[in-house]
Chains A and B, each alone.
Chain A
Amino acid sequence: MKLWEYVVRRLIALLPVIIGVTVIAFVLWKAIPIDPAIAYLGPKAKPEQIAAFHAEWHLNDPLPNQYFYYMGRLLTGNLGPSFVNHVPVTEDLATYLPATLELTITAMLFALPVGIYLGIKSAANPNKWVDLVSRFIAIIGVAIPIYWLAIMLKIFFHEDLGVIGMNNLLSLDGRLGATMTPPPTVTGFYTIDSLLALNYPDFVSAVTHLILPAFTLGFAQLAIILRMTRSGMIEVLGQDYIRTARAKGVPERQVVFRHAFRNAMNATLTVAGLTVGSAFAGDVYVESIFNWPGIGKYFLQAALHAGFTDLLGYLFVVTVFYVSANLVVDVLYATVDPHVTLGGA
Chain B
Amino acid sequence: MTNTPVSAAQDSEEVILAAKDVKKHFPLRGGVLRTVKGHVMAVDGVSFQLRRGETLAIVGESGCGKSTLARVLLRLLEPSAGKVFFMGSDLTALKPSLVREKRKHLQMVFQDPMSSLNPRMTVKNIIAEPLVLHPEPAVRPATIAVLATLTFLYGLFSAFAGLAVLLFPSASGYFVTVPSGAASIIGLFLAVYGVLEMAGARGLWRVRTWAWWLLVVQYAGALALWFLLSNPILIGASAVLLICLVYERKKFASGKDVRDRVLELIELVGLKKEHLNRFPHEFSGGQRQRINIARALTLNPDLIILDEPTSALDVSVQAQILNLLMSLQKKLGLTYLFITHDLSTVYHIADRVAVMYAGKIVELGETEEIFSNPLHPYTKALISAAPVADPRVKAKRIILEGEVPSPTHPPSGCRFHPRCWLAFEPCLSVEPVLFDTGNGRLVACFASARDLGREATGGPGASRRKAGIR
Cα distance, A9 to B35, chains bound together (Å): 12
> Which residues of A sit under 8 angstroms from B32, Cβ to Cβ?
5, 8-9, 12
Scan A175-217; emit 1 where CB is below 8 A from any B CB, else 0: 0000000000000000000000000000000000000000000
State the main secondary structure of chain B at its contact with A: loop
> Which residues of A sit under 8 angstroms from B461, Cβ to Cβ?
none
Q: Verify if B31 is at the interface (C-beta below 8 Å from A).
A: yes
Q: Verify if A1 is at the interface (C-beta below 8 Å from B).
A: yes
Q: Verify if B391 is at the interface (C-beta below 8 Å from A).
A: no
Q: Verify if B30 is at the interface (C-beta below 8 Å from A).
A: yes
> Which residues of B sit under 8 angstroms from A1, Cβ to Cβ?
30-31
Cα distance, A343 to B37, chains bound together (Å): 14
Cα distance, A92 to B219, chains bound together (Å): 50
Give, as a whole number of angstroms, the nearest-CB distance from A3 to chain B: 12
Give, as a whole number of angstroms, the nearest-CB distance from A330 to chain B: 15
Cα distance, A5 to B30, chains bound together (Å): 10
- Interface residues of B, CB < 8 Å — how many? 3
Cα distance, A22 to B31, chains bound together (Å): 29
What residue of chain A has the Cβ atom nearest to residue B34's Cβ? Answer: A9
Cα distance, A245 to B30, chains bound together (Å): 33
Docked complex: B264-321 residues within 8 A CB-CB of A? none
> Which residues of B sit under 8 angstroms from A343, Cβ to Cβ?
30
Give, as a whole number of angstroms, the nearest-CB distance from A136 to chain B: 34
Cα distance, A1 to B34, chains bound together (Å): 11
Cα distance, A12 to B31, chains bound together (Å): 13
Scan A57-73; emit 1 where CB is below 8 A from any B CB, else 0: 00000000000000000
Docked complex: A257-287 residues within 8 A CB-CB of B? none
Docked complex: B11-69 residues within 8 A CB-CB of A? 30-32
Cα distance, A9 to B30, chains bound together (Å): 11
Scan B314-336; emit 1 where CB is below 8 A from any A CB, else 0: 00000000000000000000000
Cα distance, A12 to B32, chains bound together (Å): 9
> Which residues of B sit under 8 angstroms from A8, Cβ to Cβ?
32
Give, as a whole number of angstroms, the nearest-CB distance from A12 to chain B: 7
Docked complex: A31-64 residues within 8 A CB-CB of B? none
Scan A1-44; emit 1 where CB is below 8 A from any B CB, else 0: 10001001100100000000000000000000000000000000
> Which residues of A sit under 8 angstroms from B31, Cβ to Cβ?
1, 5
Give, as a whole number of angstroms, the nearest-CB distance from B409 to chain A: 15
Given contact pairs A1-B30, A12-B32, enumerate 6 new A-B contacts (beta carbons under 8 Å): A1-B31, A5-B31, A5-B32, A8-B32, A9-B32, A343-B30
Chain B residues in the interface with A (C-beta under 8 A):
30-32
Chain A residues in the interface with B (C-beta under 8 A):
1, 5, 8-9, 12, 343
- Give 8 pairs: A residue, B residue, CB < 8 Å, sorted on A: A1-B30, A1-B31, A5-B31, A5-B32, A8-B32, A9-B32, A12-B32, A343-B30
- Minimum-distance CB pairs A-B, first 8: A8-B32, A5-B32, A9-B32, A1-B30, A5-B31, A12-B32, A1-B31, A343-B30
